[in-house]
């Protein structure tokens, strides 16, 4: 007589996507989830007014530019993104 038992280990999926967001607060641009992306900030006329790289998962920058509506474009090796940002 014998008893056959099974032991199951949970399998975790490591490819869950990190939430991503871009928003402005107190004249800062807060960028969450875009670590390693290169960014260019454009004014309403299409002129590039600031460039920077997001160096960590939760990155913020306070560009020295007047208040207004801007377009933030970013990219890495596989993805291009764009956001409207009001400063």
pLDDT at 19 (0 to 100):
85
Q: What is the rounded CA–CA span in Å between residue 6 and residue 16? A: 28
pLDDT at 57 (0 to 100):
92
pLDDT at 9 (0 to 100):
45
The helix/strand/coil state of 86 is: strand
Q: What is the rounded CA–CA span in Å between residue 80 and residue 87? A: 22
| Contact of 43 with 82, CB cutoff 8 Å | no
Residue 52's pLDDT band (cuts 50, 70, 90): very high
pLDDT at 4 (0 to 100):
41
Beta bridge partners of 70: 85
Helix (H) or strand (E) holding 36: none
């Amino acid at each position: 007589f014998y008893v056959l038992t099974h032991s199951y280990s949970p399998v975790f999926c490591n490819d869950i996507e990190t939430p991503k967001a871009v928003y402005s607060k107190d004249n800062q641009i807060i960028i969450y989830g875009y670590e390693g992306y290169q960014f260019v900030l454009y004014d309403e006329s299409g002129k590039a007014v600031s460039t920077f790289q997001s160096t960590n998962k939760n990155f913020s920058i306070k560009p020295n530019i007047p208040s207004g509506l801007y377009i933030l474009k970013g990219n890495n090796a596989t993805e291009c993104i764009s956001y409207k940002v009001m400063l």
